[in-house]
Amino acid sequence: MITLNNIHKSYVMGSSKLHVLKGIDLDIEQGEFVSIMGSSGSGKSTLLNILGMLDNYDDGSYHLDNRLIADMSEKKAAQLRNEMVGFVFQSFNLISFKNAMENVALPLYYKGVNRKKRNAIAMEYLEKLGLAPWASHMPNEMSGGQKQRVAIARALISQPKIILADEPTGALDTTTSYEVMEILKEINEAGITVIIVTHEHDIAAMTQKVVRLKDGRIDEIIRNGELKAFRHTYTKELETA
């Protein structure tokens, strides 16, 4: 599904150059539930942005669904994002002057679905996430958890192959965080690849595969079977902290 080969990315900050990703090799299969971890500045968000075609890379190769993602026009990238990827952000990124239903329906607008139809589909998704009563509410009338669920509904509506979530629980309390993770898990069980960036171990522990980044390189990959051990080290890390 996703194949990264020696990905390099650096940002030019004035006169200095910041080498963020220093050769990332990563394979993610269809239907995996992956978390990317790492301390701040380790390049985890950059990696996610490259995966989501929100940003391009300098060197290496990125294949998505056996298609090389490189040097695409903005238009093509936008179209591909619309088809393949659903985004969930830490700060929700809902459009403030649109109500929940309209926010959810927006990706379908760019797919060319007519208004009546896309609003009906949006209602379906809101219902699935238990938000039907809030359909006509504006984002500023909803709680963080509700907003994130609206954002998830929006990510799902275009029936993407991958959900990319950048710190989806970063702005939420523990209970709400777990609820959101539960939703993401259900989505994953429906066959959609879910990739989240997080720095919270308990959140990462709910995924099947943890990719730990350190200074722009993959430090270790912990697989499903090893998660127990991960939980162990994670509690130890907590104790030492």
Partner 1 sequence: MFDLDKWQEILSTIKKNKMRTFLTGFSVAWGIFMLMILLGSGNGLSNGVAANFMNDAVNAMWIWTGETTIAHQGLKPGRPIQFRNDDYDLIEKLPGVESASGRYFMGNTRYSYENESGEYTTVTCHPELNDVEKMELIEGRFINEVDILQDRKVVVIGKDIHTALFKEKPALGEYVRINNVPFKVVGVCIEPGSTRNRNAYMPVSTAQKVFNGSNRLHNFALTIDGKTLQESQEIEERIRNTFARKHRFDVTDESALGMYNKLENYIQTMRIFQAIKIFIWIIGIGTLIAGIVGVSNIMLIVVKERTKEIGIRKAIGASPASVVGLILLESILITTVAGYIGLVLGTGLMELINYSMVQSAGDAAQQGETVFLNPTVDFGVAVAATLLLVVAGTLAGYIPAKRAASIKPIVALRDE
CB nearer to partner 1: pick between 98 and 201: 98
Parallel, antiparallel or unpaired: strands 193-197 and 209-214: unpaired
Tokens of residue 156, six digits: 């799902």
CB nearer to partner 1: pick between 51 and 218: 51
State the nearest-atom distance from the C-beta of 189 to partner 1, in Å: 24
State the nearest-atom distance from the C-beta of 190 to partner 1, in Å: 20
Element at 17 (helix H, strand E): strand 16-28
Report d(CA 21, CA 149) in Å as an integer.
31
Report d(CA 108, CA 117) in Å as an integer.
9
Residue partners of 119: CB distance under 8 A and separation at least 6:
101, 102, 105
CB atoms within 10 A of CB 164: 26
CB nearer to partner 1: pick between 32 and 166: 166
State the nearest-atom distance from the C-beta of 2 to partner 1, in Å: 18
State the nearest-atom distance from the C-beta of 88 to partner 1, in Å: 10
CB nearer to partner 1: pick between 85 and 227: 85
Contact between residue 23 and residue 217 where contact means Cβ atoms under 8 Å apart: yes
Annotate 218-235 with DSSP letters as a single string: EEEEE-GGGHHHHHHHHH
State the nearest-atom distance from the C-beta of 34 to partner 1, in Å: 20
CB nearer to partner 1: pick between 98 and 199: 98
Interface positions with partner 1 (CB under 8 A): 49, 52, 54-55, 74-75, 78-79, 81-83, 87, 89, 93-98, 102, 106-107, 109-112, 114-115, 154, 158
- What are the φ and ψ backbone dihedral angles of 228, each rounded to 5 degrees? -60, -45
